[in-house]
Amino acid sequence: MSKLIQIVEDDPKSLKLIRDLLRVSGYTTIEATNGRQGVELASAQKPDLIFMDIQMPVMDGLEATKILKAGKETRDIPIVALTAYAMKEDEAKVLLAGCDGYMTKPINIKKFLKKTEDYLHGHTDHTLNEL
């Protein structure tokens, strides 16, 4: 059965790019465009992996991640933050919020698909010695 991946992203271009990449690679995708919708969708569908934008209207990705990681039914779903730029303090912030990994936008297509596989197999970007 194809893995179910949820994308939470308010920017239509980023959403389309990630959706197209994942679908071409054989994944099934579901989508939300703000954090609150993302929490509701993940609770209902229990995806295998979530890509979570950080800056979004209504509820941001950090808040949505905290809620999902506090929920008994959703805490084991890996969440990968999509960050706009690679600042060390931002990486720390998303990991502390409960994200299992992060990727910077604009995404590198090859790395994106490789890392997607890694995250689906339980890998994370936690480097606790650095935090």
Using CB under 5 A, list all residues that contact Mn ion: 10, 53, 55-56
> Which residue, 63 or 118, has its beta carbon nearer to Mn ion?
63
Q: How many CA atoms lie within 13 A of 128 on its CB side?
A: 2
| Smallest gap from residue 33 Cβ to Mn ion (A) | 9
Q: What is the rounded CA–CA span in Å between residue 76 and residue 71?
A: 9
Distance between CA 65 and CA 74 in Å, rounded?
10
Contact assessment for residue 30 and residue 2, using Cβ atoms and an 8 Å cutoff: no
Measured in degrees and rounded to the nearest 5, phi and psi for residue 62 equal -70, -45
**Smallest distance from the beta carbon of 55 to Mn ion, in angstroms?**
4
CB of 104 to Mn ion, least distance (A): 13
Q: Which residue lies nearer to Mn ion by CB, 10 or 100?
A: 10
Q: How far is the CB of 21 from Mn ion (least distance, A)?
A: 18
Nearer to Mn ion, 56 or 67 (CB): 56
3-state secondary structure of 80: strand
CB-nearer residue toward Mn ion: 58 or 75: 58
